[in-house]
Structure 1
């Protein structure tokens, strides 16, 4: 009977925080787009976004633990984190599809161009020979352009579920707290 009461609380809490994290993702993407769309192809912006997502996921897990009495198993903490991350990633993917197909259909080509330029600078920094660099950049251009299609973004969501699981493992490990054993 106790489990029946915990389940809705679990789902409600996880969905609420997934919606908040999805909203944060949308706001971050919109801010980057409004400030300078090249940020969308920036590794530093990507790392900042990932740090914010993970940090919020940890906060949500600890908040859930505190809300249910201060103790949370790793399994439940992992499940909570996974729901938060996977649902927020879905929200982010849907928004990105809207951004790239409805709001600014030319954005994928512009972001691809920036990503290829960034890759070229990195290859030059590594001292890659010109011939190899041209071949690699042609492949990078093709792969990056595919990534920004609706199908590519949808497939990217599928792959992002692996990242969601990793983030859920991390946040679950931090949010878990065993009840003290009584003798």
Structure 2
């Protein structure tokens, strides 16, 4: 729980920093999004290894997944709550500006790729409502985020698991031993 809250807090601080620098940076700059993703994943690995060490150096795949998943739940809930507050109270125009910026960037790249204007308009229309910070959209984002984190947690758990060695089997029936 503590590690999930810490990762969620770090995610919020990074979001605030990027928002202060340029409110649309997280939504239009792929490198910023990738950087955030890498930092969060690195923190999951670091805290996962820290927990494994704290519990004696061994952590089965199931235990690792459960621990990482609990962290993910806290990170997801904190992130969704913060974005709801950011879009509705701190910067109420951010959702529309972000949607417009993403659509403009998408339109530019799709038109360069030779996609028809009709298809571009259809894609743009589907994106517009995704940035509204309504309870419904935030609930959907929470569900999608949990699913994505669960997949990431499975991968990290497979990497950091460490099964304790089996105790040697002693055969009492063999008189030569």
Aligned Cα RMSD in Å?
Answer: 1.5
- Counterpart position of 2:21: 35
Structure with higher helix content = 1
Aligned residues: 167
Tell me the SS of whatever aligns to 2:62. Answer: helix
- Counterpart position of 1:60: 47
1:177 paired with 2:162, answer: yes
1:167 paired with 2:152, answer: yes
How far the C-alpha of 1:33 sits from its partner, in A, is 0.6
1:153 paired with 2:138, answer: yes
Tell me the SS of whatever aligns to 1:69. Answer: coil
How far the C-alpha of 1:119 sits from its partner, in A, is 1.2
- 2: CA distance, partners of 1:164 / 1:152: 18
- Counterpart position of 1:116: 103
Higher gyration radius (CA): 2
- 2: CA distance, partners of 1:104 / 1:157: 21
Matches within 5 A, 1:41-120: 41-42=27-28, 43-120=30-107
User: With structure 2 as the length reference, what TM-score do the two structures score?
Assistant: 0.88
Whether the 8 Å contact between 1:78 and 1:172 is mirrored in structure 2 is yes
How far the C-alpha of 1:32 sits from its partner, in A, is 1.1
How far the C-alpha of 1:175 sits from its partner, in A, is 1.7
The gaps in structure 1 that reach 5 residues or longer are 1-14
Tell me the SS of whatever aligns to 2:156. Answer: helix
- 1: CA distance, partners of 2:164 / 2:55: 12
* 1:39-63, Cα deviation, whole Å (9 max, x unpaired): 1213322222121111111111110
Tell me the SS of whatever aligns to 2:81. Answer: helix
